[in-house]
């Protein structure tokens, strides 16, 4: 396990909300990050799909991790998400990549994929700005 | 309690993820909706602030409720959120309003406010599109 | 005429693209800006409405002016726009306001209004991030 | 020249604003479109870069063309754009692709590239929703 992955996993463990949702950091390398979570009944909305808020949370967090992989300690300043289809299945994964970065800011895109019996389907795409945390 | 509020509360109760987070529907009237939740330790990120994913979730859900108040059964198709400052305090509330609506679609804006000892502070603003669910 | 308005008008005059479109700076005060242009036939698309690109341009520029009114020399880093209805009439005006600002960054919203025989109608709403230009 | 390209070029010719800016439709195939324009002095802002409004216009129009390639007569309902770096050079091109589409709606992404002596550089990325025009 790389030092960056180990460090990223430690931060995730320190996010109580990520622990509540069961999020795992699968990949973090300079310019990219993959977060995933197991789809549980308590993450759903009234129609049985994963709640949009869970999809957004995972995209947002993956964007921050991707940006953070090149900037260091970072926060998402803003993002936009389009939901493409209902999220169903066993597992949700968000893969984010850095499109452009400077000293203090990175622009990233993210794809959220649901995995299950029906195969792998893209359920959302997001684009946002990550800012380095000022000290 | 109006019929619309009663109906909205029932839908919220049927969203397991909203139950997990403890979300309450405070207001729903044609063109506007307010959702809130108590800030609990397990909704935080590593710096002690409410996780951005919780703020996004609440904004997204408030946008859907506002859109749904004029369209009926609806989903958020897309939205954009800007985080303005860290969310701290006791309570988070998202107030969404419909700016424009047609037969199948509504455009809404949302303000997310954190309440606590430090008073009331706007922590995020969002804008998005709500679509009526096709039957 | 305030110094800020005079300065803002001078910058606009130095934007060849704004001169091409005939944009006027109507208002600029700390935290707000209004830009407008006369709707001419050559600003239209194939259905006779003002081209979305013109509406976007005016929103983007108004966002920058609003942000610049509190930050100084600035650029739009990103924004999102929802078109609400076709833009027709004699005049288009974009009014932008600062929602939140720090040392280097401001978050602004903008409403674009079309004026004509049919009265005044909101045709688009935008939200974005303005960044101070680093020297 | 394909029928779709011929048709697309005809529509572009009927957009007076696109004629004013000198936009060309380079490619249109089901699911993708490329629009370009020559960078002229009158498309610039006060620092000598292409005005953001021109970049936005081209992205917006490319998104509509990509969506239209699968939906037929369409409009951009909303989009979000991040500017990555100043646009300089001789030519600006926006390449848009459809990520997902249904009967009435498509979600598309777009990359805007500037070409010049300094080579080819991505200057902006956009993501938006295209809606079929109701008849």
| pLDDT tens digits along B82-132 | 999 999 999 999 999 999 999 999 999 999 999 999 899 999 999 999 999
Mean pLDDT of A34-61: 97
Q: What residues in C contact A101, CB-CB < 8 Å?
A: none
Strands of A91-101's sheet, edge to edge? Answer: A24-29, A32-38, A91-101, A105-116, A119-132, A74-83, B74-83, B119-132, B105-116, B91-101, B32-38, B24-29
Strand locations in D22-73 (E): 24-29, 32-38
- Per-10-residue mean pLDDT of chain C, 135 residues long, equals 95 97 98 98 95 98 98 97 97 98 96 94 98 86
Q: What is the pLDDT of residue C135?
A: 65
Cα maximum dimension of chain D: 46
For the cut 70, the answer to whether the pLDDT of residue A105 exceeds it is yes
Q: Which residue on chain B is closest to C101 by alpha carbon?
A: B84
Angle D131-D133-D135 from CA coordinates, rounded to 5°: 150
Cβ contact, residue pair B80, D77, below 8 Å: no
Q: Determine contact, residues C29/C16, Cβ cutoff 8 Å.
A: no
Q: Is B45 exposed, middle or buried (0-12, 13-18, 19+ CB in 10 A)?
A: buried
Query: Residue B91: CB partners within 8 Å, gap ≥ 6?
Result: B36, B37, B38, B39, B114, B115, B116
Q: What residues in C contact A105, CB-CB < 8 Å?
A: 77, 131
Strand locations in chain C (E): 24-29, 32-38, 74-83, 91-101, 105-116, 119-132
For the cut 80, the answer to whether the pLDDT of residue D114 exceeds it is yes
User: What does pLDDT average to over chain A?
Assistant: 97
**Does B107 contact D at CB distance below 8 Å?**
yes
Q: Determine contact, residues A112/A49, Cβ cutoff 8 Å.
A: no
Q: What is the pLDDT of residue B134?
A: 78
Distance from CA of C16 to the nearest CA of A (A): 28
End-to-end, the C-alpha distance of chain D in Å comes to 29
Confidence at D72, pLDDT banded by 50, 70, 90: very high
Contact pairs from chain B to chain C, CB under 8 Å: 37
Cβ contact, residue pair D78, B129, below 8 Å: yes
Instruction: Give partners of B (≥3 CB pairs < 8 A).
Output: A, C, D
Tokens of D106: 């498509």
Cβ contact, residue pair D52, C76, below 8 Å: yes
Adjacent-strand bridge partners of B28: B33
Best to test chain C binding among A75, A99, A100, A129 (most C CBs inside 10 Å): A129
Q: What is the pLDDT of residue A135?
A: 65
Helical H runs in C1-127? 3-13, 16-21, 52-71
Q: Which one of D77, D80, D105 has the shortest CB-CB distance to B80?
A: D80
Mean pLDDT of A42-55: 96
Q: What is the pLDDT of residue C134?
A: 78
Tokens of D61: 């129009």
Q: Which one of C17, C18, C52 has the shortest CB-CB distance to D60?
A: C52
Q: Kindly report the pTM of this predicted structure.
A: 0.97
Whole-number Å distance between alpha carbons of B132 and D129: 15
Mean pLDDT of A60-87: 97
pLDDT in tens, D5-35: 999 999 999 999 999 999 999 999 999 999 9
Whole-number Å distance between alpha carbons of A1 and B117: 43
Distance from CA of C91 to the nearest CA of D (A): 16
Tokens of A121: 């389907």
Backbone angles phi, psi at D90, to 5 degrees: -100, -25
Sorted by where each starts, the structural domains of chain A and their CATH numbers stand as 3-132 (3.10.129.10)
Q: Which one of D84, D109, D128 has the shortest CB-CB distance to A100?
A: D84
Portion 70-99 of A in contact with C at CB < 8 A: 77-78, 80
Q: What is the pLDDT of residue A118?
A: 82
From residue B50, alpha-carbon distances to B46, B58, B87, B91, C129 in Å are 9, 12, 5, 10, 22
Q: What is the pLDDT of residue B77?
A: 98
Angle B83-B88-D80 from CA coordinates, rounded to 5°: 10
Backbone angles phi, psi at D49, to 5 degrees: -85, 160
**Which run of H or of E encompasses B120?**
strand B119-132
Confidence at B1, pLDDT banded by 50, 70, 90: confident
Q: Which one of B53, B75, B83 has the shortest CB-CB distance to A78?
A: B83
Strand locations in A19-118 (E): 24-29, 32-38, 74-83, 91-101, 105-116
Confidence at A134, pLDDT banded by 50, 70, 90: confident
Adjacent-strand bridge partners of C92: C37, C114
Cβ contact, residue pair B109, C107, below 8 Å: no
The three state secondary structure string of D66-126 is HHHHHHCCEEEEEEEEEECCCCCCCEEEEEEEEEEECCCEEEEEEEEEEEECCEEEEEEEE
Whole-number Å distance between alpha carbons of A131 and A102: 10
Backbone angles phi, psi at B29, to 5 degrees: -140, 160
Q: What is the pLDDT of residue D102?
A: 95
Whole-number Å distance between alpha carbons of D105 and D114: 29
- Tokens 């309450």 correspond to B24
Q: What is the pLDDT of residue B135?
A: 65
Whole-number Å distance between alpha carbons of A62 and A72: 14
**Does B109 contact C at CB distance below 8 Å?**
yes
Question: Could you give the percent of chain D with pLDDT greater than 70?
Answer: 99
CA atoms within 13 A on the CB side of A91: 13
ipTM greater than cut 0.85? yes
Q: Which one of C77, C80, C131 has the shortest CB-CB distance to A80?
A: C80
Q: What is the pLDDT of residue D135?
A: 65
Q: Which one of C19, C42, C77 has the shortest CB-CB distance to D20?
A: C42
Instruction: Give partners of D (≥3 CB pairs < 8 A).
Output: A, B, C
Q: What residues in D contact C64, CB-CB < 8 Å?
A: 52
Q: What residues in B contact D131, CB-CB < 8 Å?
A: 105
**Does C105 contact A at CB distance below 8 Å?**
yes
């Amino acid at each position: 396990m790389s030092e960056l992955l180990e460090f990223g996993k430690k931060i995730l463990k320190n996010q109580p909300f990520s622990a509540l949702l069961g999020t795992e950091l699968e990949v973090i390398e300079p310019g990219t990050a993959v977060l995933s979570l197991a789809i549980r009944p308590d993450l759903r909305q009234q129609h049985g799909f994963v709640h949009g808020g869970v999809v957004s949370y995972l995209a947002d967090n993956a964007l921050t991790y991707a940006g953070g992989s090149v900037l260091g300690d970072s926060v998402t300043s803003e993002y936009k998400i389009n939901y493409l289809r209902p999220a169903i299945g066993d597992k949700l994964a968000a893969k984010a990549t850095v499109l452009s970065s400077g000293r203090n800011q990175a622009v990233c895109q993210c794809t959220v994929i649901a995995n299950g019996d029906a195969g792998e389907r893209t359920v959302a795409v997001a684009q946002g700005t990550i800012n380095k945390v000022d000290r």
